Amino acid sequence: MTLHNRKVFRFAPSPNGYLHLGHAYSALRNADLARRFNGRMLVRLEDIDIDRCRNDYEIAILEDLAWLGVEWEKPERRQSEHFALYASRLEDLRSRRLVYPCFCSRGDISRVISGVVSWPRDPDGAPLYPGTCKHMSPAERDSRLAAGQHAALRIDMQEALTLAGERLGWSEFGEGDTPREIAAEPSVWGDTVIGRRDIPASYHIAVVVDDALQGVTDVVRGMDLFNATSLHRLLQSLLELPVPNYRHHHLLKDEAGHKLSKSTRAKSIRSIRSDGLTIGDLRKSFGLS
Ligand code: GLU
């Protein structure tokens, strides 16, 4: 099998905290599939959030991955090296009027929607953007930008859907071997942010650009990102990027039934290691042979 037809997997942690059990499961699923298919395994540090990402977390993550028995191609890929690329793809969307600048803070949005009973929300729970800046006159927009006001870039969902035209979907393997076709529903995100105010990127643009750049054929990640895949499919269509297979796996839950996350202080792999648990015990607890 040549380099060109090997499957490419990636584990893509954000170095803004230690890896927890949920990350370990995801990393092991990727590594196991890469081994099974004689594929390539990449580690991509998703460090666009430069204020929250830290070098010591990065070192700890790589150490934990090695302890987990994950083998990956060196060097690790790093999103902070691709800001110029993300900015150029955003500019491409902007020149085609598929994104527009938005000056609203969260507070501005809350004020606009306050008093409206059950304002629609996106799959992450954020209120759908009420469209304030979409209707701003070009003159006002230009003068605010010229005055140095920072703006996020929001996708013009209606325009984007019109342009993408065709029905979008993807092949979803879940945790098995048989794909089912999923119809993408990007409209559930409304005019969501594709370029952040503080950095010239967003998770969504960075992930689709990098998956294409790195030739990722199979995206293996948690179900918490299942809905984001609809938006990723839209961006791939607008930017004419190849479409990987998706394998969204179940999420590990704590005793209270909540998804493990940094914010709920899920037990880190570090502390599991120091408790003396072995990788064999861990794999067994995940139901991995
Ligand atoms: N960086 C994301 C996270 O840590 C994962 C992104 C992805 O796999 O697409 O949750």
Distance 145 CA to ligand 1 centre (A): 31
* 45 C-beta closer than 6 A to ligand 1: no
* 48 C-beta closer than 6 A to ligand 1: no
1-81+253-289 homologous superfamily: HUPs (3.40.50.620)
User: What sign has the CA pseudo-torsion 249, 255, 258, 261?
Assistant: negative
For the stretch 265-285, what's the b/e string if a residue is b when 16 or more beta carbons lie within 10 angstroms of its beta carbon?
Answer: ebebbbebbeeeeeeeebbee
- Angstrom distances, CA of residue 99 to CA of 169, 184, 208: 22, 20, 16
What phi and psi values does residue 62 have, to the nearest 5 degrees?
-65, -35
Q: Which two tokens stand for residue 1?
A: 């099998």
What confidence tens digit (pLDDT) does each residue in 24-76 have?
999 999 999 999 999 999 999 999 999 999 999 999 999 999 999 999 999 99
* pTM of full prediction above 0.75: yes
Count of alpha carbons within 13 angstroms of residue 79, beta-carbon side: 30
What confidence tens digit (pLDDT) does each residue in 66-104 have?
999 999 999 999 999 999 999 999 999 999 999 999 999
Cβ burial of 179 (10 Å; 0-12, 13-18, 19+) is middle
Distance 139 CA to ligand 1 centre (A): 38
In this model, does residue 220 exceed pLDDT 90?
yes
* 225 C-beta closer than 6 A to ligand 1: yes
Q: Is residue 60 classed as helix, strand or coil in its secondary structure?
A: helix
Please give the CATH topology (third level) of the domain spanning 82-251: Rossmann fold (3.40.50)
Domains 1-81+253-289 and 82-251 share a fold: yes
Q: How is the chain split into domains, by residue range?
A: 1-81+253-289, 82-251
In one letter, which amino acid is 254?
D
